[in-house]
Chain A
Amino acid sequence: MPTTTPTLQACRHCGAGAPLDAHFCPQCTKILPLPRHADYFAFLGLTRKLNIDAADLEQRFRTLSRQFHPDYFYNATPAERRASLEQSSYLNDAYRTLRQPISRIEYLLKLEGMAPSGPAEAAKQVPPALLEEVFALNEELDEIRDLRNSGAPHEAWRPRLERARQPIEVKRIEHEQQLQTLSAQWDAGGGPDVLRALRDQFLERNYIHNLLDGIERELAQ
Chain B
Amino acid sequence: MSKVVGIDLGTTNSLVAWVKDGVPQVIRDRQGDGLVPSVVSFEDEGTVHVGREAQRRLLTEAQRTVYSVKRFMGKGRDDVQDETRHFPFRIGGDGGVLRIGVGDREFTPPEISAFVLRELKHRAETFFAEQGEFDNEVDRAVITVPAYFNDAQRTATRDAGRIAGLEVLRIINEPTAASLAYGLDKRHAGIIAVYDLGGGTFDISILRVEDGVFQVLSTNGDTHLGGDDIDLLLMDLVLDGPRSPEAVQEIRKAAIQAKIDLSERDETTLQGRTVTRAEFEALIAPVVERTLAPCRQALADAGVESSSIDEVVLVGGSTRIPLVRRRVEELFGKKPHSELNPDEVVALGAAVQADILMTGNREMLLLDVTPLSLGIETMGGVTSKIIMRNSTIPATGSEMFTTAVDNQTAVDIHVLQGERELVADNRSLARFKLRGIPPMPAGLPRVRVQFQIDANGILSVTASELRTEIEQTVEVKPSYGLTDEQVEQMLLDSFENAEADFAARLVIEARNEAENVIHATEKSLRAPDIDQIEKEELAAGERKKIESVLAGLKMVLNSSDRETIQKWTQALNDTTRHLAEVMMNRSVQAALSGKNVNDM
Contact = CB atoms under 8 A, between A and B. Distances in A.
Contacts of B366: 71
B495 to A, nearest CB: 27
A74 interface: yes
Contacts of A66: 213, 362, 365
Contacts of B357: 71, 74
B356 A71 contact: yes
A96 B455 contact: no
Interface stretch (B71-79, B122-130, B390-398, B409-417): B390-398
Contacts of B452: 85, 89
Nearest to A74: B357
Contacts of B211: 62
A148 B366 CA distance: 49
Contact of B360 (A58, A74, A96): A74
Interface in B434-453: 452
Name the residue in B170, B367, B452 with the highest tally of chain A Cβ atoms < 10 Å from its Cβ: B367
B63 interface: no
Interface string A54-91: 00001000100110011110110000000001001110
B515 interface: no
A65 B393 CA distance: 11
Given A65-B213, A65-B365, A69-B365, A88 B360 contact: no
A85 B454 CA distance: 8
Measured as residues with beta carbon below 8 angstroms from the partner, the interface class of chain A is: 10 to 19
A66 B360 CA distance: 11
Contacts of A88: 394, 455
Contacts of A58: 210
A88 B455 CA distance: 10
Contacts of B11: none
Contacts of A93: 395-396
Given A62-B213, A65-B213, A66-B365, A85 B356 contact: no
The interface centre, meaning the residue of A62, A70, A89 with most chain B CB atoms within 10 A of its CB, is: A89
A89 B394 contact: yes
Given A62-B211, A62-B213, A65-B365, A70 B394 contact: yes
Contacts of B35: none
Contacts of A71: 170, 353, 356-357, 365-366, 455
Given A70-B454, A75-B360, A65 B394 contact: no
Contacts of A72: 360, 362
A88 B366 CA distance: 13
B215 interface: yes
A88 B358 CA distance: 19
Contacts of A89: 394-396, 452
26 contacts: A58-B210, A62-B211, A62-B213, A62-B215, A66-B213, A69-B365, A69-B367, A69-B455, A70-B394, A70-B454, A71-B365, A72-B360, A72-B362, A74-B357, A74-B358, A74-B360, A75-B360, A85-B394, A85-B452, A85-B455, A88-B394, A89-B395, A89-B452, A92-B393, A92-B395, A93-B395
Given A69-B365, A69-B367, 9 more contacts: A62-B211, A66-B362, A66-B365, A71-B365, A74-B169, A85-B394, A89-B452, A92-B393, A96-B395
Interface of B: 169-170, 210-211, 213, 215, 353, 356-358, 360, 362, 365-367, 391-396, 452, 454-455
